[in-house]
Amino acid sequence: MPGKLKAKIVAGRHLPVMDRASDLTDAFVEVKFGNTTFKTDVYPKSLNPQWNSEWFKFEVDDEDLQDEPLQITVLDHDTYSANDAIGKVYIDIDPLLSSEAATVISGWFPIYDTIHGIRGEINVLVKVDLFNDLNRFRQSSCGVKFFCTTSIPRCYRAALVHGFVEELVVNEDPEYQWIDRIRTPRASNEARQRLISLMSGELQRKIGLKVLEMGGNAVVGYLQCFDLEGESGLVVRAIGTACTLDKLIPGSASNTNTHPNTAPASNACNSPSKEIKEPVFSEDPTHPLSVPPTPLRTLPSSSSPPPFSPSKLCSRQSSSSDTDLSLTPKMGMGSGISVGKEAGPLKTLLRQQAQSALEQREFPFFTLTCFPPGFLVHIGGVVSARSVKLLDRIHNPALGNTRSYKLLDWNSVAADEPETRDAWWEEIRQEIKSHAKALGCHAVVGYSESTTIWYITHTILRPTSISSEEVCILSASGTAAMLNPRFMREGCLDAGGSDQRLSRQPPLGMVGSERAEGEVSSSWLGFDDASPPSCGFCHIPYDEFNMPFPAQLTYCYHCRRQKVPDVLFTTIDLPAEAAVTGKGCLIQARLCRTKKKAQGEVNATAISNLLPFMEYELHTQLMNKLKLRCMNALFGLRIQISVGENMLLGLASATGVYLSALPAPGGIQIAGKTPSDLSYDQHISTMQKRINDTIAMNKELYNIHPPECIEEVVGSPIPDRQRSRLFRSTSESSDELSELDLSHGKKDAFVLEIDDTDAVEDIQSLLTDAPMPAGFYSCNTEVMPGIYNWTSGLQMFTSVRVYRLNNANLTNQGLNKIFTDLCENLLKSLYFKLRSMIPCCLCHLNFTVAVPEEELIQVAVTAVAMSFDKETQLAADKALNKGSGENEEQLQFSMELCGESTSSNNQPTAKPSGLPESAMTHSSSRASSSERCSPLPEVRSRSLRSTRSLPCGAPVTVVKMTPLSFLPRTRIVKYLGIINMFFIRETTSLREEGGVSGFLHSFIAEVFAMVRAHVAALGGNAVVSYSMKECVFMENPNKNQAQCLINVSGDAVIFVRESDQEAIPPLITCGQTSTTGADGTT
Amino acid sequence: MSVELDVFVVNTTIMDEEVYQLWLDGYTGLGHNINQLTHIDILDTVIHQSYESCYLSAPSSVNDAVKVRMEGGVLEGCEASAEVLHSDTMDQYRTFQMCERLLHSPVKLANQLLFQIPPHRQVMLIERYYAFDSVFVREVLGKKLSKGTKKDLDDVSAKTGVTLKSCRRQFDNFKRVFKVVEELKGPLVENIRQHFLLSDKLARDYAAIVFFANNRFETGKKKLHYLTFQDFAFCAGQLISNWTVGALDNMVEDMDVDLEKEFLQDLKELKILITDRDLLDQHKSLVCTALRGKTKAFNEMEANFKNLSRGLVNIAAKLTNTKEVRDFFIDLVEKFIEPCRSDKWTAGDMRLYLTHYTNSAHVLDTFKHQVVWDRYMGVIKSCILKMYHD
């Protein structure tokens, strides 16, 4: 069905001088959509032309509306020679296709040129008249809403969560076409930008279709990525979570999920879908390590590391796959939970009888990281899978016209074309699923996928030929979980009675075991009232007699009824209802491993051999650092492994917290092997002291004062592992060590053995993590646990650094040190630059590392600094401490036992006994220093806002940007659509543009500007869930050239300030501008 | 290990005022790394090229700004190293560099899209960018804002201690403002305020600079050295608001950079005050009567009356000649201020004398040019009073 797209070119301003003789420009505009082009008149001799054109009308299919961007080209008219292009604007009109998003696009857009950057601005008006679409067999999916936000968007309610949707399209990269040898860099860049815009439009449309098939109306947690695979092509892929969202009427409470009474029945085993599932499941590769025959040289991608699970101590590659095997049958029969989500769309399935849809449900994955209360029942732990692939040319037909590129659809994968990216991803997803099953979970939440590609000839800009010997690591990770299937079944939210139909069949195996414990029976599934929401998700989902990995279980410290593990790792955000002690902090594990230079299969093999070790070491580091901070859980875990020519980089970031429900972490103990040596002993004891001091200091820093409780190590099937041990991967002396009794009080302790130099290095690196400066907190999740009173002051930033390793012959240790320093220095630099925000928290601090060429390491980070109110924070801390203390059933008991610690609970600022002196001076210097070192007091003292208005027309709308899904002290009233932009910038005058830093600095600033302009044109005043998903930088200083590709995405929104809060005007004058923005759309 | 690339970009651009000042003062922390960015637009290219050479010439001072900041104690309380400080300085310098083009036409700064700068920060950026050193402006005041003058800036820099970079910025600011308002109609100060978004005070100062440059008033003579820029700015304000075309009618076609020709012609008529012997005597007696007993310097006043009066009226009569206009201030000093000073008049004496000197002329029967006289003496009086100090 057609729609009518209308565009009007109003005016331009600040245009560049194109005619040197007159210092003026004769500008006109071409407006292109699909194959139709309109032109405005030439506006002679002006840098601020007023075209005020007619409405250009395009009558097009809505399919095209979704795929194509509106392309606006500003040119300088030249009578004698060819017209010079000034620049272009691409406008994604998708937001206009949904009735609930924007209705008009109107505003100033920066005119962008891939060689010169922003060159002036153009004012454009765009509207769409869409005719009602009644076609059943339509190819478009207009109206499906997309959200980058990985939680249910703030002004919606999730009626239904359908599940995982994915899609991928492949094309030849224009940069590597033969024609690129003869065309200008500008033409090549523009071809690429346009192609990617087209591909992402198409991808979005296809995903939308899948969502409609499933009966949903929105995709939440939409994650789109580009894989620039060089000559092998260009892959655009996306994953997301299909949902049915209902718009909330402002004011009405959003109690989407309080049906505790209907809940118990809802975990039905839903046998029908199980039938569907069983056969599929049996097709699982019996050994994850063996990969289906690969005609196209896929490696036996050994890279299926074990489930990255809590307390996994010595599990190896093989052990994980064994576990999978042994657990699979059990889970199928015993838990039967895994199929909860298939029940919902069952009707849809039957209706459509489409094999494809069925296969899709194959993956009970959710890209969400934040859930409505009650959705998440239990968390098993992190599951991840990696696979190393050799890239080969994607078999594509030649690019004739724009629509000829071939879509390698999931469903259309023919038997004769097995080696597609789809197949690769399916393999990975299957692996993830089996890992989740091993953890007794039926779903994976916080799921994400990523790739790392390494090109051999990366350093040369515009290579005329590129070797196809490219290696690609596909990674996927998520958190195994059990979900409340209520959210996945139609109608049950509104009519709880329908749940009764499918009465729950008790999972036999489980019930038996639980009864034997004489405890908690019904609460196994966590749906009943008995399991408090603040700890329910911590309870183990797996069978404690058949634990997938050795772990130490205790009864939950919160409800005392269920078992909890001693440590919990997850990729999701901390659930809002979770009970947390103290504050959290960013924990990073960094690792560098050398690799021999190699090519092709040899290279891929080398990489895949290294991967499991890297994962193991990263895990070890994380665990140590977690203990050092006296915390017991990680959220938002993100592990990235990058490949370089001669090294591998691993970076794991997560936010550590102390979950009140989990046992207190033990300290870290150092054990030496030769106790006879006196000096050696002394060395060890100083080390031990330093560690103990650090732990004590961290406790104070993060305000962690857990109530002391008696250890209750409940009957764990693993024989009395009072002490978990941490071994180096090289250490093989586990038997011998287990005889060492290292008990230190009643606390569990991690033992670090310093029998080899590696371990010494480890400890050193543990202790060299510089503490955060006073007034700063940091996390990589949405918000910092333990901080509640945000002010509206926030500052989003992007920082990119490239380091050159000058010394080529480095050892692993040397590299590690360099890499660690590099990350630490970047953090330090951030703290310094943002010192005017103190007290503040750096949220969503996710690093992206890459090895763009030999001896280069690139680190990029986009995060937000949010300031909070120190006074009320202190009060809140106190109240919280007091509160949690009073709620604690064991209060009296602990008071008797250790009055000291309780007293320090209530007065977090008081000096606790035994605290090292250094910590005290540290905290006491805080207040003064925070006042002193803020040269930009305006950031917070908003009263300074100048009343002097600038007499120059309409002010530019202030657009806030944040990687988080919300803006503190505001309410999002409308989502205007997804922002998904891809830009290329290139220069042949690198030195003149200020070198690489100057070049990238202005490019990033330009990208920000273009994002803001698009949001403002949609009528919005903020971008939430903003992320820079790609930043590929290449330089060739000898040729004075550089090129950079950036891909960003986010959700354009309108927010209003919370009026009922204390009136603190936001940082900038967003008041009046935001209302004007809103007026434009309503 | 070396840092090859290091950038930090924020959504809401907030500059550190201290670093901004260092940058403005010409602490070139960037060495050869940064040249002018040429992509935002190509305006003012000529001016930029000279900046460029400036940056290239100062690679040795890479760490000047960093050093100053460290000495300023910015690192106190922060666990940061010089490295961190260097990176921060570079980031900010780059931002300033990119903003500089916008600062050249401040109206653009408000509606450009590249940097999201809170309005009050925009005001600060502009105000500081256009601020100038009074020692520097004193050197170029009244000089032609030409390439020739610009070439001599290194001498000015050496003399004043203001860095060459800063000198050039200030000089270019003068020139830019001059060029823009030269073509505009309407009141000078208001034009400057609107086109450069400056505060009233700064706009008035620029009006003075433009006015002086346009009329090429001589200010560099040794006898004028004791006068500050503010003295001249005040006088310029007086001249602009009383002696230009715009002074009488704001909406008049012409602008008020030039003195009103007709008025200057009329001033010739005042000569009668000194050429007509009766009138001169009458005037003298009227003034002396009024002053008698009111000041200690009465005797000197009486003795010098004719000389002083001749001096002032001759200045008026010569103003039709452009060359003489240039000497307006030097004449005032030589013909009037110096004799009075050598007679040790106090400021009060001066005021008293000028008041009566002006008013007495009204009583003269045969003197018909009262309006022109008032218009002339009003300005002369306030200028002399301002200039009469050590």
Nearest residue to A113 via CA among A82, A90, A91: A90
pLDDT digits (tens, 9 = 90+) for A153-165: 888 888 888 889 9
Q: How many Å lie between the alpha carbon of A1042 and the closest alpha carbon of chain B?
A: 12
Write down the pLDDT at residue A811: 80
CB atoms within 10 A of CB B371: 10
Mean pLDDT of B97-116: 89
**Cα–Cα distances in angstroms (integers) from residue B204 to residues B103, B130, B201, in the given order:** 19, 12, 5
Tokens in use for A956?
């530019």
> Please, which residues have CB within 8 angstroms of residue A297's CB and are 6 or more apart in sequence?
A390, A392, A601
pLDDT digits (tens, 9 = 90+) for A51-75: 999 999 998 887 788 888 999 999 9
Q: Does B100 contact A at CB distance below 8 Å?
A: no
> Please, which residues have CB within 8 angstroms of residue A256's CB and are 6 or more apart in sequence?
A152, A157, A158, A159, A372, A493
The rounded percent of chain A whose pLDDT value lies above 90 is 18
How far apart are the C-alpha atoms of B101 and B120, rounded to whole Å?
Answer: 19
pLDDT digits (tens, 9 = 90+) for A611-663: 888 888 898 888 888 888 888 899 999 999 988 878 889 999 999 988 888 88
Asked if pLDDT for residue B182 goes beyond 50, the answer is yes
Name the residue of chain B whose CA is nearest to A927's CA. Answer: B77
Q: How many Cβ pairs within 8 Å bridge chains A and B?
A: 236
Asked if pLDDT for residue A755 goes beyond 80, the answer is no
Poorest-confidence range of A511-515, A861-865, B7-11? A511-515
Nearest residue to A380 via CA among A429, A307, A486, A320: A307
Write down the pLDDT at residue A951: 39
Write down the pLDDT at residue A797: 94
How far apart are the C-alpha atoms of B357 and A966, rounded to whole Å?
Answer: 75
How far apart are the C-alpha atoms of B87 and A833, rounded to whole Å?
Answer: 9
At A955, is the pLDDT very low, low, confident or very high (cuts 50, 70, 90)? low
Nearest residue to A267 via CA among A62, A443, A503: A503
> Quick one: which H or E segment has residue A591?
strand A580-594
| Residue A304 · residue A431 · CB < 8 Å | yes
Asked if pLDDT for residue A418 goes beyond 60, the answer is no
Asked if pLDDT for residue A189 goes beyond 70, the answer is yes
Poorest-confidence range of A7-21, A610-624, A740-754, B128-142? A740-754
Write down the pLDDT at residue A30: 95
Which of the 8 DSSP states describes residue A713?
Answer: B
Asked if pLDDT for residue B151 goes beyond 90, the answer is no
| Residue A655 · residue A779 · CB < 8 Å | yes
Which of the 8 DSSP states describes residue A666?
Answer: P
Asked if pLDDT for residue A776 goes beyond 80, the answer is yes
Asked if pLDDT for residue A139 goes beyond 70, the answer is no
Nearest residue to A910 via CA among A959, A877, A958: A877
Task: Name beta bridge partners: B7.
Answer: A800
Q: Look at B116 and A828 and tell me if their CB atoms are within 8 Å.
A: no
Mean pLDDT of A133-142: 60
Write down the pLDDT at residue A945: 35
Alpha helices in A541-671 (DSSP H): 600-628
Asked if pLDDT for residue B180 goes beyond 50, the answer is yes
| Residue A366 · residue A514 · CB < 8 Å | no
By Cβ distance, the residue of B17, B90, B112 closest to A997 is: B90
Phi-psi map region of A1051: left, alpha, beta (phi>0 left; psi -120 to 50 alpha): beta
Write down the pLDDT at residue A940: 36
Coil, strand or helix: which one is A772? coil
b/e sequence A237-263, b meaning 16+ C-beta within 10 Å: bbbbbbbbbbeeeeeeeeebbebeebb
Mean pLDDT of A589-606: 84
More confident residue, A691 or B96: B96
How far apart are the C-alpha atoms of A218 and A213, rounded to whole Å?
Answer: 12
More confident residue, A912 or A1030: A1030
Please list every residue in chain A whose beta carbon sits closer than 8 Å to the beta carbon of residue B90.
Answer: 997
Asked if pLDDT for residue B43 goes beyond 90, the answer is no
Q: Look at B123 and A939 and tell me if their CB atoms are within 8 Å.
A: no
How far apart are the C-alpha atoms of A581 and A575, rounded to whole Å?
Answer: 14
Poorest-confidence range of A486-490, A589-593, B65-69, B210-214? A486-490
Write down the pLDDT at residue A880: 53
The vertex-A638 CA angle with A814 and A974, nearest 5°, equals: 140
At A229, is the pLDDT very low, low, confident or very high (cuts 50, 70, 90)? confident
Q: Look at A932 and B2 and tell me if their CB atoms are within 8 Å.
A: no
pLDDT digits (tens, 9 = 90+) for A255-277: 333 333 333 333 333 333 333 33
How far apart are the C-alpha atoms of B147 and A380, rounded to whole Å?
Answer: 75
Tokens 């892929």 map to which residue?
A237
Write down the pLDDT at residue A1050: 94
Quote the ipTM score.
0.84
| Residue B378 · residue B242 · CB < 8 Å | yes
Q: Look at A944 and B120 and tell me if their CB atoms are within 8 Å.
A: yes
Please list every residue in chain B whose beta carbon sits closer than 8 Å to the beta carbon of residue A842.
Answer: none
Q: How many Å lie between the alpha carbon of B254 and the closest alpha carbon of chain A?
A: 24
CB atoms within 10 A of CB A183: 14
**Cα–Cα distances in angstroms (integers) from residue A92 to residues A65, A104, A236, B160, in the given order:** 9, 12, 17, 56
Q: Quote the longest CA-to-CA distance of chain B.
A: 92
Q: Look at B79 and A770 and tell me if their CB atoms are within 8 Å.
A: yes
Going by their DSSP bridges, the two strands A776-778 and A105-113 should be labelled as: unpaired
How far apart are the C-alpha atoms of A156 and A245, rounded to whole Å?
Answer: 6
The vertex-B347 CA angle with B341 and B352, nearest 5°, equals: 105
Q: Does B81 contact A at CB distance below 8 Å?
A: yes
| Residue A635 · residue A781 · CB < 8 Å | yes
Write down the pLDDT at residue B54: 34
Write down the pLDDT at residue A262: 34
- Residue B204, Cα to own-chain centre: how many angstroms? 8
At B185, is the pLDDT very low, low, confident or very high (cuts 50, 70, 90)? confident
| Residue A652 · residue A634 · CB < 8 Å | no
Write down the pLDDT at residue A495: 32
> Please, which residues have CB within 8 angstroms of residue A204's CB and are 6 or more apart in sequence?
A66, A94, A146, A224, A238, A978, A980
Write down the pLDDT at residue A380: 85
**What is the rounded average pLDDT for all residues in chain A?**
69
More confident residue, A609 or A919: A609
Tokens in use for B322?
């452009």
| Residue A962 · residue A1022 · CB < 8 Å | yes
pLDDT digits (tens, 9 = 90+) for A865-890: 998 887 666 666 565 554 443 343 33
Write down the pLDDT at residue A1013: 94
Mean pLDDT of A976-1003: 91
Which of the 8 DSSP states describes residue A278?
Answer: H
pLDDT digits (tens, 9 = 90+) for B328-377: 898 889 888 888 888 888 888 888 888 888 888 888 877 888 888 888 88
Poorest-confidence range of A519-528, A808-817, A827-836? A519-528
pLDDT digits (tens, 9 = 90+) for A540-570: 777 666 666 666 777 887 777 788 888 889 9
Name the residue of chain A whose CA is nearest to B56's CA. Answer: A992
By Cβ distance, the residue of A15, A801, A955 closest to B6 is: A801
Poorest-confidence range of A3-12, A169-178, A972-981? A169-178
Report which listed range, A97-106, A139-148, A449-458, B351-360, is most confident.
Answer: B351-360
3-state secondary structure B34-50: CCCCCCCCCCCHHHHHH
Q: Does B46 contact A at CB distance below 8 Å?
A: no
> Quick one: which H or E segment has residue A27?
strand A27-33
Nearest residue to B15 via CA among B123, B101, B106: B123
Tokens 């998440």 map to which residue?
A376
Write down the pLDDT at residue A74: 95
Asked if pLDDT for residue A463 goes beyond 80, the answer is no
The rounded percent of chain B whose pLDDT value lies above 90 is 16
Name the residue of chain B whose CA is nearest to A1068's CA. Answer: B118
Mean pLDDT of A119-132: 87
How far apart are the C-alpha atoms of B139 and B215, rounded to whole Å?
Answer: 16
Asked if pLDDT for residue A723 goes beyond 80, the answer is no
Write down the pLDDT at residue B62: 42
pLDDT digits (tens, 9 = 90+) for A166-175: 888 888 777 7
Poorest-confidence range of A205-219, A390-404, A947-961? A390-404
Asked if pLDDT for residue A596 goes beyond 90, the answer is no
pLDDT digits (tens, 9 = 90+) for A1037-1081: 788 889 999 999 999 999 988 764 444 444 333 333 333 333 333
Cα dihedral B91/B97/B102/B105 (nearest 10): 140
How far apart are the C-alpha atoms of A369 and A361, rounded to whole Å?
Answer: 19
Q: Which of residues 20-39 of B touch A (CB under 8 A)?
A: 33-39
- Residue A737, Cα to own-chain centre: how many angstroms? 39
Nearest residue to B119 via CA among A445, A954, A657, A1036: A954
Mean pLDDT of B15-40: 63
Asked if pLDDT for residue A89 goes beyond 90, the answer is yes
Task: Name beta bridge partners: A842.
Answer: A778, A865
Asked if pLDDT for residue A953 goes beyond 60, the answer is no
Asked if pLDDT for residue A186 goes beyond 50, the answer is yes
Write down the pLDDT at residue A835: 86
Report which listed range, A305-309, A593-597, A709-713, A804-808, is most confident.
Answer: A593-597
At A497, is the pLDDT very low, low, confident or very high (cuts 50, 70, 90)? very low
Mean pLDDT of A670-685: 68
| Residue A575 · residue A796 · CB < 8 Å | no
By Cβ distance, the residue of B1, B10, B14 closest to A796 is: B10
Tokens in use for A80?
């004698």
| Residue A408 · residue A168 · CB < 8 Å | yes
Best residue in A1002, A1011, A1043, A1048 to probe B by mutation, most B CBs within 10 Å?
A1002
- Residue B275, Cα to own-chain centre: how many angstroms? 37
pLDDT digits (tens, 9 = 90+) for B252-296: 555 667 788 888 888 888 888 888 888 888 888 888 888 888 878
Q: Does B49 contact A at CB distance below 8 Å?
A: no
φ and ψ at B104, to 5 degrees? -70, -30
Q: Look at B2 and A797 and tell me if their CB atoms are within 8 Å.
A: no
At B32, is the pLDDT very low, low, confident or very high (cuts 50, 70, 90)? very low
Write down the pLDDT at residue A937: 37
Q: Look at B7 and A1004 and tell me if their CB atoms are within 8 Å.
A: yes
| Residue A691 · residue A767 · CB < 8 Å | yes
- Residue A431, Cα to own-chain centre: how many angstroms? 20
Asked if pLDDT for residue B29 goes beyond 60, the answer is no
